[in-house]
Structure 1
Amino acid sequence: MEVLKRPPTAKGPAEWFTGDVWFDVIHRGEEPSRARANTVKFAPGARTAWHSHGLGQTLLIVEGVALIQSRGAKLVEAHPGDVVWTPPGEEHWHGAAPGQFMIHLALWEGDDTSWLEHVTDAEYGAAPSSTRA
């Protein structure tokens, strides 16, 4: 067993995010492990660019309200405790709803992430459907 030293919080790069986003690396497995885990904090209105993961991604919403959308699908609102799975290669984005911070735990494998164009204000501002029944 080893207690690992955590790297400092990093600001998300403008190429990948709109608005202010910070992430903390929880785990970055070394070969043969491909496991990755980050906590990510989004300022109100902040979001990722469109992107996809070669082996998929799981998000656990920890705090706030998340907005999440897959390309061609409806915008979805997710809440603390919700788990969102995005399959390999599916283009999607995620971010904070307007007016509040959002934190999620992101789990994925490997470094095969394809970053695409930024989410437009019109895409971000679409009316979401809720994960709540």
Structure 2
Amino acid sequence: MKQWIFAILVGSLATAGQAQDVVHSDTVEPIPGPEEVFTGRAEILPLTSPTAPGQAGVAVVTFQPGARSNWHTHPAGQTLYVTKGCGWVQEEGQPVQRICAGDAVYAKPGIRHWHGATDKEVMSHLAITETLNGKNVEWMEPVSDDQYSGPEQ
């Protein structure tokens, strides 16, 4: 089922335009996750930017153990597909959930949430983020250490 969902996501990206743009991994430089919106060490590998007629940007985000995003929302939603390791994700008011390689997460538009690595292992995910009126994210305050403690704690 997870492979099927991923195939649909990739297929929909591939058919979004008339021409194909191939991004070779050795031509893209990762950038450090900004300290203003990440706790700990995160790295972003930008793969595509929103280009009409589609409005999705795609990046691989790698979180070192203990690293996580701030609380945030997406005006048009976001899909995550975990490619390596395990991490945690939380929607405001809900318990922290464990996610591992092969898992997919969909954050509905406007839902306050965060995601990151567990405290013990690296986690990478593919982030497919939709854009609405030129905006794809609204960043908020950092996730506290108490909020960050995962489901195994």
Are 1:102 and 2:126 an aligned pair? no
Q: CA deviation at 1:27?
A: 1.1
Find the aligned partners of 2:21 and 2:83 in 1 and give their Cα distance.
26
3-state SS in 2 of match to 1:123:
helix
Amino acid paired to 2:151: A
Amino acid paired to 1:16: V
Find the aligned partners of 1:76 and 1:65 in 2 and give their Cα distance.
10
Cα contact 2:77–2:109 (8 A) shared by 1? yes
The runs of at least 4 consecutive aligned structure 1 residues that moved more than 3 Å come to 1-7
Find the aligned partners of 1:22 and 1:117 in 2 and give their Cα distance.
19
Are 1:3 and 2:27 an aligned pair? no
Cα contact 2:81–2:125 (8 A) shared by 1? yes
The residue correspondences of 1:60-79 to structure 2 (distance < 5 A) are 60-79=81-100
Q: CA deviation at 1:3?
A: 3.4
Are 1:115 and 2:139 an aligned pair? yes
Find the aligned partners of 2:86 and 2:74 in 1 and give their Cα distance.
22
Structure with the higher fraction of residues in helix conformation:
2
2:36 to 4, 10, 15: 15
Report the TM-score when normalising by structure 2.
0.78
Q: CA deviation at 1:73?
A: 0.5
1:43 to 64, 79, 103: 64
Amino acid paired to 1:10: I
Find the aligned partners of 2:151 and 2:46 in 1 and give their Cα distance.
32
Gaps of 5+ in 2: 1-19
CA RMSD of aligned residues (A): 1.7
Gaps of 5+ in 1: none
Are 1:32 and 2:53 an aligned pair? yes
3-state SS in 1 of match to 2:22:
coil
Match of 2:9 in 1: none
3-state SS in 1 of match to 2:51:
coil
Q: Give the structure with higher Rg (CA).
A: 2
Identity of aligned residues (%): 35
CA distance 1:126–1:4, change in 2 (3 Å): closer
Cα contact 1:76–1:128 (8 A) shared by 2? no
Instruction: Output one character per residue of 1:73-114: Cα deviation in whole Å (capped at 9) or x when no partner.
Output: 110001110011110000000000011110000011113311
Match of 1:53 in 2: 74
Find the aligned partners of 1:107 and 1:26 in 2 and give their Cα distance.
10
3-state SS in 2 of match to 1:64:
strand
Find the aligned partners of 1:106 and 1:77 in 2 and give their Cα distance.
17
